[in-house]
Amino acid sequence: MKYIGLDLGSRTLGVAISDEMGILARAYDTLRFYDDDYEKAIEYTIDICKKEKVSTVVLGLPKHMNGDEGVRAQISFDFKAEIEKRSDIKVVLMDERLTTVIVDKAMISANVRRKDRHEKKDEMAAVVILQNYLDKKSF
């Protein structure tokens, strides 16, 4: 069973996908859209799920370091609700605190150029979100 992982920002949607067995996550794509144009991101997500035959999406849930949920978290809740309303896709929310920090440190230690880090950070954050979910699911 394949899964898709998402890192939703205000202008980008980082996408990761698992292997057929749902064990390993890899980078898939980064969708760029106008500020807060979540409609485009929702349609794109549903299209990918149909194309890749995915029935479960793991969406990053941004929380403050103290665990509180703010405006960005509400956007994720709304995004989840819209996808589930328009399709048979199940959306699981996964805490995404520190994923960007993890990705930045990993890419810096791998000597990835600053421009390349900027272009790939969203889909790499999606990989971390999805891999965390897959690792927890297997226990």
SS3 category, 39: helix
* Single pTM value for the model: 0.88
Give the architecture (CATH level 2) of 3-137: 2-Layer Sandwich (3.30)
| Helix residue ranges, H only, 33-113 | 38-52, 71-86, 99-109
Q: Please report the sign of the dihedral spanned by the C-alpha atoms of residue 36, residue 47, residue 59, residue 120.
A: negative
For every one of its 139 residues, what pLDDT tens digit does the chain have, with 9 covering 90 and above? Answer: 899 999 999 999 999 999 999 999 999 999 999 988 999 999 999 999 999 999 999 999 987 666 667 788 899 999 999 999 999 999 999 988 677 767 777 777 777 787 777 677 788 889 999 999 999 986 5
Q: What ranges do the domains of the chain cover?
A: 3-137
